[in-house]
Amino acid sequence: MEVKLDKRYPLDVEPARAWMVLQDVRAVAGCMPGAAITEQVDDTHYKGTVKVKVGPANAAFGGDIEVLALDPAAMKLQLLGKGADRSGSSASMNLTAHVEAGDTAATSVLVGEAAVIVNGKFAQFGGRMMSQVSDMLLAQFADNFRAAAAALPAPQAAPPVASAAAASGAPALSPAPVRELNALGLAWGLVKNWCAGMFGRRT
């Protein structure tokens, strides 16, 4: 099952700080609920895990992440993640994300496009909720991303963009705690969104 995502999240930090987070694969992973980087293989290859639990579909994906492109000038990151779960699911994600300038100098927009393919039990059981779950997941991701960016030192103190890209041991980011996506909380979120949709449609 393939889900295509095309999202824009306005951020209340200026582009430079947003890019600081985006160029750091570990930090990006840290913003994703349930995800973590477990090992860096080389400059562009990482190993990581993602835990997701949606109703009967419970998956702990372990796999490889490859940074396909990291373009400081365009503030753009492209990565490919591929993983499998022991209980019979597999997933891949091709993600392109970049930071755009916002309406004011102090704001920016995180723009992401992703093609996610899931196979196996996760697609079978979770299939009908895939796009809603992705929306929820990404909304949480955006919140964490915002928080991570805001926690960085203020703009004047931030190092220039170009050097930040090269510095692997750059400023200590404070990613949100890694916790698996909460099934109950998520279910409630889905119900809330669904109800909002029901009533919202008529207005």
Among 77, 146, 51, smallest CA distance to 107 is for 146
Nearer to another protein, 26 or 47 (CB): 47
| Cα distance between residue 152 and residue 21, in whole Å | 9
* CB atoms closer than 10 angstroms to residue 133: 21
Q: Is 62 in the site for another protein (CB under 8 A)?
A: no
We find the least distance from the C-beta atom of residue 49 to another protein, in angstroms, to be 16
Member of 39, 42, 73, 86 binding another protein (CB under 8 A): 86
Q: Is 125 in the site for another protein (CB under 8 A)?
A: yes
Q: CA–CA distance from 29 to each of 37, 43, 51, 96 (Å)?
A: 6, 16, 12, 14
Nearer to another protein, 78 or 124 (CB): 124
Q: Which stretch binds another protein (CB under 8 A): 13-21, 29-37, 114-122, 167-175?
A: 114-122
Q: Is 128 in the site for another protein (CB under 8 A)?
A: yes
Q: How far is CA 20 from the centre of its chain?
A: 15
We find the least distance from the C-beta atom of residue 84 to another protein, in angstroms, to be 8
| Cα distance between residue 186 and residue 184, in whole Å | 5
Using CB under 8 A, list all residues that contact another protein: 1-2, 84, 86-90, 117-121, 123-125, 127-128
